């Protein structure tokens, strides 16, 4: 490339396998350039002040190199700035406050060694769609100015040490994320030190497809209003949801969003297929209370991870209606009760972990649930059945005890009436005879004389017949 080429509008040497430092003359090669792309090389060194080198620059992509040192100021009218996957360090205060252009849409400083706090300068990036500061060493608070009229669809602040204290959002995830970023599709705040309860305004984000707040200190109950995340309640998915168009000098460029998700126990990067993923990860926090029934309306979820919290109560049976669910992790909580029979219908399930809870009873029998290894159920002493070695006790035969016929009210009254009639008949007959004999002397004398005559007749009859029998036997 000739050192005197000064009229290049687009300077692109990306993917050129360059592994050296850039000579000084390169930076003055074409001051009129509006696009600078030297990404995906192995270029090292320190950047000069790009404000004077490229005063009219609109797009800069220096990603995937070995640049180091602090990030210098850039032209205020830049539209996108991509410096990810380098070794930049230090503060970014002067950089962010120097970008004043109303058309700024895309900032990616992820995977560097940047530190310090985010500046609270009066940022008015009304067209900002992508803000990615993931995997750095930022500390301090998220400034209120970030929410000033932005149209962010993708916000990545993961793997930093972010604390929103010392303002009205003290100790909590900023509520303005739900109030102001109505088009947000992906929110990744994982592996920070956020604390406090989940802000209710997050439920306003009906376009949410990925919510990752894992590895923080978030406490409290899971809000019931998560049922308002309507995108997650729909089984239909599209890549368009995570594709963001931004203008880069006379052309539209497609940004494909990404997310670092724990899938099948492994951190995986999703980019080309992210639009098909609908995921909630609230694992490794301090959430407590029951899993709300409202969350069972999010039937479009592909992955649900609530592990390593202090959740209690039963597993909602309606989770078994998540026909698209591929990964479910409820391990390391204090869940009780039986595994719902409806889990037998989770035919798409590829990952299941219910270990280390207080579940009991028999594991429902199905081809899917018995296909998981025993560790998926271990740590539940009262749980039994395959694939665990803990066999369920056989049911003892039930011995039927004699039953007393049960009568309805009408039969009861008839039975009682019969008993009364028999008693009255016996009472009347007995005392009708005996009472008369006791009270009437002549009747009593006649009655006993009759009995005496009857006794004598029987005696004479028996004596005569006995004598005749003896006489006949003696003559034989």
Question: Over 80: is that where the pLDDT of 7 sits?
Answer: no
Express each pLDDT in 105-119 by its tens digit.
888 898 899 888 777
Question: Over 70: is that where the pLDDT of 438 sits?
Answer: no
- pLDDT (average), residues 24-34: 83
Higher pLDDT: 39 or 415? It is 39
* pLDDT mean across residues, the chain: 78
Residue 323 confidence (pLDDT): 87
Express each pLDDT in 320-350 by its tens digit.
988 889 999 999 999 999 999 999 999 889 9
Residue 435 confidence (pLDDT): 62
Give 423's pLDDT tier (boundaries 50, 70, 90). Answer: low
Give 403's pLDDT tier (boundaries 50, 70, 90). Answer: low
Residues 135 and 111 sit within 8 Å (Cβ to Cβ): yes
User: Which long-range contacts does 50-57 make (Cβ < 8 Å, 24+ apart)?
Assistant: 50/74, 50/75, 51/75, 51/98, 53/27, 53/28, 55/31, 56/31, 56/32, 57/33
Higher pLDDT: 24 or 413? It is 24
With 0-12 CB in 10 A as exposed, 13-18 as middle and 19+ as buried, what is 241? buried
Instruction: Give the C-alpha separation, 315 to 334, whole Å.
Output: 11
Question: Over 70: is that where the pLDDT of 89 sits?
Answer: yes
Residues 241 and 205 sit within 8 Å (Cβ to Cβ): no
Question: Over 50: is that where the pLDDT of 290 sits?
Answer: yes
Give 255's pLDDT tier (boundaries 50, 70, 90). Answer: very low
CATH fold for domain 10-384: 3.80.10
- In whole angstroms, what separates CA 221 from the centre of its chain? 12
Pick the closest to residue 279 from 310, 309, 258 (CA basis). Answer: 258
Express each pLDDT in 295-318 by its tens digit.
999 988 989 999 999 999 999 999
Give the contacts of 89 (CB within 8 A, at least 6 positions apart): 68, 69, 70, 112, 113, 114, 115
**Which has the minimum average pLDDT: 50-54, 100-104, 256-260, 456-460?**
256-260
Give 244's pLDDT tier (boundaries 50, 70, 90). Answer: very low
Give the contacts of 162 (CB within 8 A, at least 6 positions apart): 138, 139, 140, 141, 142, 189, 192, 193, 194
pTM: 0.69
Higher pLDDT: 190 or 64? It is 64
Higher pLDDT: 134 or 47? It is 47
DSSP strands (E only) in 76-173:
80-82, 87-90, 106-108, 113-116, 130-132, 137-138, 154-156
Find the largest Cα–Cα distance for the chain: 170
Q: How many CA atoms, within 13 angstroms, populate the side-chain half-sphere of residue 20?
A: 5
Residue 261 confidence (pLDDT): 59
Residue 243 confidence (pLDDT): 40
Question: Over 70: is that where the pLDDT of 238 sits?
Answer: no
Alpha-helical (H) ranges within 181-224 are: none
Instruction: Give the C-alpha separation, 256 to 239, whole Å.
Output: 9
Instruction: Give the C-alpha separation, 452 to 446, whole Å.
Output: 10
Residue 220 confidence (pLDDT): 94
- % of the chain with per-residue pLDDT over 90: 29
Residue 161 confidence (pLDDT): 46
Q: Which range has highest mean pLDDT (5-14, 252-261, 294-303, 448-457)?
A: 294-303
With 0-12 CB in 10 A as exposed, 13-18 as middle and 19+ as buried, what is 357? buried
Give 436's pLDDT tier (boundaries 50, 70, 90). Answer: low
- pLDDT (average), residues 250-258: 47
Residue 138 confidence (pLDDT): 81
Higher pLDDT: 129 or 291? It is 291
For tokens 């297929």, name the residue: 273
Residue 167 confidence (pLDDT): 29
Express each pLDDT in 140-198 by its tens digit.
767 665 555 555 655 655 555 444 333 233 357 877 777 777 777 778 788 888 888 99
Q: Which helix (H) or strand (E) holds 464?
A: helix 441-474
Higher pLDDT: 54 or 377? It is 377
Question: Over 70: is that where the pLDDT of 418 sits?
Answer: no
């Amino acid at each position: 490339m000739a050192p005197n080429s000064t009229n290049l509008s687009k300077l692109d040497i990306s993917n050129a396998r360059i592994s050296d430092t850039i000579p000084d003359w390169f930076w003055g090669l074409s001051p009129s350039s509006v696009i600078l792309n030297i990404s995906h090389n192995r270029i090292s060194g320190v950047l000069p002040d790009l404000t004077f080198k490229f005063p009219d620059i609109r797009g800069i992509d220096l990603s995937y190199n070995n640049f180091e040192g602090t990030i210098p100021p850039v032209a205020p009218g830049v539209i996108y700035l991509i410096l990810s996957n380098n070794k930049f360090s230090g503060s970014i205060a002067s950089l962010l406050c120097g970008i004043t252009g109303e058309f700024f849409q895309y900032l990616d400083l992820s995977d560097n060694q940047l530190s310090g706090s985010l500046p609270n300068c009066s940022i008015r990036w009304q067209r900002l769609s992508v803000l990615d500061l993931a995997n750095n060493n930022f500390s301090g608070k998220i400034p209120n100015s970030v929410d000033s009229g932005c149209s962010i669809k993708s916000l990545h602040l993961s793997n930093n040490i972010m604390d929103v204290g010392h303002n009205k959002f003290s100790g909590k995830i900023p509520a303005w994320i739900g109030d102001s970023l109505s088009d947000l599709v992906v929110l990744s705040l994982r592996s920070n030190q956020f604390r406090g309860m989940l802000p209710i305004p997050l439920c306003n984000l009906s376009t949410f497809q990925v919510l990752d707040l894992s590895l923080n200190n978030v406490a409290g109950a899971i809000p019931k209003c998560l049922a308002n995340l309507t995108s997650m309640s729909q089984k239909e998915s599209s890549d368009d949801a995570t594709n963001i168009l931004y203008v880069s000098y006379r052309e539209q460029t497609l940004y494909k969003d990404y997310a670092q998700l724990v899938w099948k126990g492994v951190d995986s990067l999703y980019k080309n297929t992210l639009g098909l993923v609908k995921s909630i990860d609230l694992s490794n926090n301090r959430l407590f209370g029951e899993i709300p029934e409202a969350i069972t309306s999010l039937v479009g979820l592909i992955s649900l991870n609530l592990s390593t919290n202090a959740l209690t109560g039963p597993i909602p049976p309606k989770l078994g209606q998540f026909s698209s669910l591929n990964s479910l992790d409820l391990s390391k909580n204090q869940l009780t009760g039986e595994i719902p029979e409806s889990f037998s219908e989770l035919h798409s399930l590829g990952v299941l972990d219910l270990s280390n809870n207080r579940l009991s009873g028999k594991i429902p029998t199905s081809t899917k649930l018995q296909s998981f290894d025993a560790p998926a159920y271990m740590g539940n002493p009262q749980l039994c059945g395959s694939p665990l070695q803990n066999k369920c006790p056989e049911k003892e035969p039930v011995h039927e005890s004699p039953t007393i016929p049960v009568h309805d009210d009408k039969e009861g009254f008839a039975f009682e009436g019969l008993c009364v009639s028999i008693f009255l008949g016996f009472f009347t007959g007995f005392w009708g005879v005996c009472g008369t004999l006791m009270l009437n002397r002549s009747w009593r004398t006649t009655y006993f004389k009759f009995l005496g005559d009857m006794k004598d007749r029987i005696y004479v009859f028996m004596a005569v017949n006995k004598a005749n029998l003896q006489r006949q036997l003696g003559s034989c």
